Amino acid sequence: MKLEEMMGEDAIPEAEILDANDNVIHVIFCIRPDADEDTERLFQESKVDGVVTGLIGVDDTMHLHLRDGFERDLKLIVKDDQLARDLLKLFKIGTVRLVARGTWIRTENGWSPEVNKCVVQSFEPLESTPFSTILERVAQIPGNGWNDVQDPMGTWDNIRGIH
């Protein structure tokens, strides 16, 4: 993939190559990928969970990179400086739930924010305690059913069809 195409996917309109004296020696313009007319799109406010993997400041907006549970690298826009600073504190340290407003596209894994077309409105860090630890705690409570189960995690996997 060419640099111009990568810039287009990230919605970066142009970049300048500078010499040692900060003189512009070349300007690169992006090549925007053609919109897929068959892709379903809608404008909505919705939530997406993932791990913050990057935040790039461009001008009055920042581009947030998020890795979701389907291993997709999502790119959203952050317009609020304080929100950006707060998100950056969570860089690669746990899952966050973002509320984003903009264009969402239909994918094989459900609705996903279109690249750089959704603006983050707010977020909340999600609990990072492993489910197995939570289930162990629940199994210690007398009389709830899980207390009598020999292998709570194995039983849970069996209920979920995970073998």
Q: Is pLDDT above 70 for 141? A: yes
Please name the amino acid found at residue 69. Answer: G
Same structural domain, 12 and 87: no
Same structural domain, 101 and 138: no
pLDDT at res. 17: 79
List strand residue ranges (DSSP E) for the chain, in order: 14-18, 24-29, 41-57, 62-68, 73-78, 95-107, 110-125
Percent of the chain with pLDDT over 90: 39
For residue 8, give the H/E element and its range: helix 3-9
Same structural domain, 68 and 147: no
Q: Is pLDDT above 70 for 11? A: no
Same structural domain, 83 and 14: no
Same structural domain, 104 and 51: yes
Which CATH number characterizes residue 42's domain? 2.40.50.140
Helices 131-139/152-160 angle, 10° precision:
120
* Contact (CB, 8 A) for 152 and 160: no
Alpha-carbon span 135 to 152, nearest angstrom? 7
pTM strictly above 0.75 = no
Same structural domain, 57 and 30: no
Q: Which of 12, 63, 1, 5 is nearest to 34 (CA)?
A: 5
Same structural domain, 83 and 54: yes
Check residues 156 and 80 and name the one with the higher pLDDT: 80
Same structural domain, 91 and 138: no
Same structural domain, 49 and 118: yes
Check residues 129 and 100 and name the one with the higher pLDDT: 100
User: Average pLDDT for residues 17-26, to the nearest whole number?
Assistant: 80
pLDDT, one tens digit per residue, over 61-91 is 899 999 998 888 899 999 999 999 999 999 9
Same structural domain, 98 and 44: yes
Same structural domain, 7 and 65: no
Q: Is pLDDT above 70 for 32? A: no
Tell me how many domains the chain contains. 3
Domain of 17 in residue numbering reads as: 1-34
Please name the amino acid found at residue 96. Answer: V
Distance (Å) of CA 28 to CA 10, 75, 118: 14, 21, 25
Task: Provide the terminal-to-terminal Cα distance of the chain, rounded to the nearest Å.
Answer: 39
Same structural domain, 29 and 40: no
